[in-house]
Each structure stands twice: as structure tokens, then as C-alpha cells.
Copies of this chain bind each other. A is one copy, B any other.
Amino acid sequence: MTAPAMGPADHAGVRRNNLSLVLRLLGTEGTRSRAAVAAETGLNKATVSSLVNDLIDRGLVRELGFDGRRRLGRPATLIELDGRQVASIGLEINVDLVTVVGMDLGGRILFERGRAIDVARRPLIRTLATVTAMASEAYEEVRQISTTVAGITVAVPGLVDATTRTVAIAPNLGLHDLELGERLAEALGGDLRVTIDNDANLAALAEYRIGQCAGTQNLIYITGQTGVGGGLIVDGRLARGASGFSGEIGHMRVGPADRICGCGRRGCWEALVGLQQLMRDAVPDLAARLGAQKDKGPEAKVAAIVARAEARDPVALKALDRHAGWLGTGLSILVNIFNPQVVILGGFFREIGPWVVPTAERIMHEQTMAPDAGGCRIVTSNLGYSAAAMGAAIHAAERVFDDPTTVPIADATPLH
């Protein structure tokens, strides 16, 4: 194997990679001097200075005052990521809820909106119209604040082929082989770069970057919506699998054969710990009516269960206890396979957490091979039902970290 002689294209590629390296370092590690950036990246100081000046010109980095802690030599100017110039949008389409979030490059939420709709029973064209309107509104809002919008990522609960921007199968939404990315890009009139990805993957990314366990190198996020999906952070990176189809944890066999899953199989985890099943078990008298309220998001349904549990209704308490057992059994399989530091329960699991987490944790410990479950604990997410949309916004912003030259050099003085 021999390498070709280096041409101008290679040099541009090296510079782009180095800009990315510096911007990422400032994004994840925070404020530091140019000399520190040079030391941590292994690049020489002159190169770092040139790269930092370029990033300042693009409005992605700003200078702060001097580093007061430095004792020797000239005082060093500190630099940090300037997240304000660039925004991105994340949108989640779930069974009964569409959520949109606008976020700046520094992770600050600029805009957030949720709308309860019944995606599975609505004509696709109406859903797309709603999604387009919500995306457009978010776009208009964030453009008031940031000069560049990096793009929009759409989170979908199902198997997503990110390369072709196609939803292969999203059973709970009733979608398959839908070129969602293409359709949305058209509807948005080319204003926004559109990518799509799996909801659990994106929620896991949000937890890893901005959640209560941010930075935890091995974590599993479990979605708590109609379906149950998993997002995996392995050694600090989102594990998408070979074609982006990882995390289909809802159909592990966990329970007895009398529980028939929507997928046709028996004993699937989703059929035991999903919200539909919990409603049927915990509030059997309300389940049909609540299930029919397609204009309400999951909050209203969970609230009914929580109200009964708080009133110490024996049926609800027994159902929650059994639910906790299935939850712990399923988690033990995942913990045996992955050995994560933490399992983060998303969506409706947060509301029912007080009734299920202690039991689930005990069962998980009992059924995990590693002593003390390998140190794994269970927490409920505090990103709420917006976790996937937040992760989608973070994902859409990745393009700027990958290639800072996608943000143009500003004509005028940057905002201050």
C-alpha cells in the first residue's frame, strides 16, 4: 500500500480536521489557553493560533480575559466555545406526541414546543404537515437569535436508515419504507439540512451530553413511550450498529408466553413494560377510555396511573410492582451484556419511578452475574419527553463540530 503525493485537497482536509479537533476540545473540555490547546492536541502553537483565529472569524470561538493563574511568561488569553452564532433543531415524532427543540451550539435551549397528535391513525400527509409547520416555526424562532442554523434532525421510534434518510419500519407509528428525510426536506423548501435517526439513540446522546449523567462512558437509555427502545453509549460513543438498527430491545423474551406482543411474538419485554400494558394492568377501568384519547400525550395517561398509586389503590400498586419485576429482569439481560455504569429510564418511567425503581433495581441486582450488578444503578431521566428531540438538536449540530468550515466567516464584527 502506498499513499499518493499530497495535493491541495489533502491540505484542506488536514486543516478541516484540525479545526474540528480544536472546536471539539473547547466544546467538551471548556475554556483554556491556546498553549493548552496545542499541548492537548499535539499540534504546534503557530498552527493552533491560526486555527483559533479562523474559528473566531466564524463566530465559533471567543476570547476571554487573561489566565490569572499563569505565573510565568506573558499572560495567556483564554478562549472558549461561542455557541451563540449557531443553532440547530431537533424534532421527535412519537406515537402521540411531536416535540421540537431549538438549541444553540453551547447546548442552550432556545425554543421548545410539544403537540399531542395521533400519528398512527392520522393520514401521513397531515402528520407531515404538522411536523413541517412545527419545524418551520422553530426555524423562524432560532433564526432571530443565531445567524446560522446547522440543520434539523428528526427522531423516529423505529428502524431508521440514516444514510438514505428512510424509516425502514416504525411499527408503533404505522410507517414503513418512508423516505421521511426527502419528504421533509422538500416540504421545508430546502432551507434546512434534514437528517433522521432513531429516537432512543438520540435520547441517549442527549443524556450523554447534557443529562444528569453527562460524560458517563457506558450508559443505556430506555425510552418510555408506547414502545420500549434502547440507546447505547459504549465507551463514550453512541453505538448505532452496522446500519443504525441497534437498540431494538423491546422484543427480548422476558416474560411468560401468555403475553402476546404487537409484533406477534410472546413474552416480549415491550409487551410487559410498555405504557399500554401498564394502563391495562394498573387502571383497567380507565385503559380503554385513556387509550382512545388520541389528542392527549402520554402525560395524561401516566397521571391517571400515578393518581391511583398515590391513593394506594391495590390494583394499581400490584400492577406497578409486577411491572417493576419485568423491568428489572429485562434490565438484567442488558446489564449482563453491556456492563454499563447507569441505566437511564426515560419518558413515563420518570413519573412511575418512585413505585418501580427500587424493586426493579433489586431484581436487576439479583439477576445480574456481576457482583453488585457491576456497579450499575438505575435513574430516571430529567430531560423528560423532550430527551430525543434534544438529542436530535445535538446531532444536527454535530456537522459544525465535524466541519467548522460549514459556518461562513462573518462579514461584520461578531455579536457581543
Q: Which residues of A contact B (CB under 8 A)?
A: 1-6, 10, 14, 17-18, 21, 29-33, 35-36, 39-40, 42-44, 67, 69-73, 78, 159, 168-169, 217-218, 230, 232, 234-235, 237, 239-249, 251-254, 263, 265, 329, 333-334, 336-341, 367-371, 374-376
9 additional A-B pairs beyond A1-B29, A249-B336, A337-B337, beta carbons within 8 Å, are: A5-B73, A42-B43, A232-B337, A234-B235, A242-B374, A242-B375, A243-B370, A248-B369, A248-B370
Contact of A17 with B2 at beta-carbon distance under 8 Å, contacts A253-B253, A333-B252 already known? no
**Chain copies in complex:** 2
A248 touches B67 (CB 8 A): no
Instruction: Give CA–CA (A39, B5) in the complex, Å.
Output: 9
A265 touches B6 (CB 8 A): no
Q: Chain B residues with Cβ under 8 A from A217's Cβ?
A: 242
CB distance from A297 to the nearest CB of B (A): 25
> Of B3, B239, B370, which is within 8 A of A168 by CB?
B370
> Of B42, B237, B376, which is within 8 A of A18 by CB?
B42
A159 touches B39 (CB 8 A): no
B248 touches A337 (CB 8 A): yes
* Closest residue of B by beta carbon distance from A246: B339
B245 touches A370 (CB 8 A): yes
Q: Chain B residues with Cβ under 8 A from A341's Cβ?
A: 242
Q: Which of A239, A265, A338, A376 has the most CB of B within 10 A?
A: A338
Instruction: Give CA–CA (A2, B169) in the complex, Å.
Output: 48
Instruction: Give CA–CA (A30, B339) in the complex, Å.
Output: 34
Q: Chain B residues with Cβ under 8 A from A242's Cβ?
A: 217-218, 339-341, 374-376
* Closest residue of B by beta carbon distance from A21: B42
A3 touches B249 (CB 8 A): no
Report the 5 A-B pairs with minimum CB-CB distance, sorted nearest first. Answer: A241-B339, A3-B36, A248-B336, A245-B339, A245-B370
Contact of A252 with B251 at beta-carbon distance under 8 Å, contacts A1-B31, A5-B35, A31-B1 already known? no
Q: Chain B residues with Cβ under 8 A from A39's Cβ?
A: 3, 6, 10, 14
Instruction: Give CA–CA (A155, B242) in the complex, Å.
Output: 27
A367 touches B245 (CB 8 A): no
Q: Chain B residues with Cβ under 8 A from A71's Cβ?
A: 5
A6 touches B35 (CB 8 A): yes
B241 touches A36 (CB 8 A): no
Instruction: Give CA–CA (A230, B334) in the complex, Å.
Output: 13
Contact of A243 with B374 at beta-carbon distance under 8 Å, contacts A42-B17, A78-B2, A169-B369 already known? yes
Instruction: Give CA–CA (A254, B89) in the complex, Å.
Output: 41
CB distance from A192 to the nearest CB of B (A): 28
A338 touches B241 (CB 8 A): yes
* Closest residue of B by beta carbon distance from A32: B3
Instruction: Give CA–CA (A164, B95) in the complex, Å.
Output: 47
Q: Chain B residues with Cβ under 8 A from A263's Cβ?
A: 369
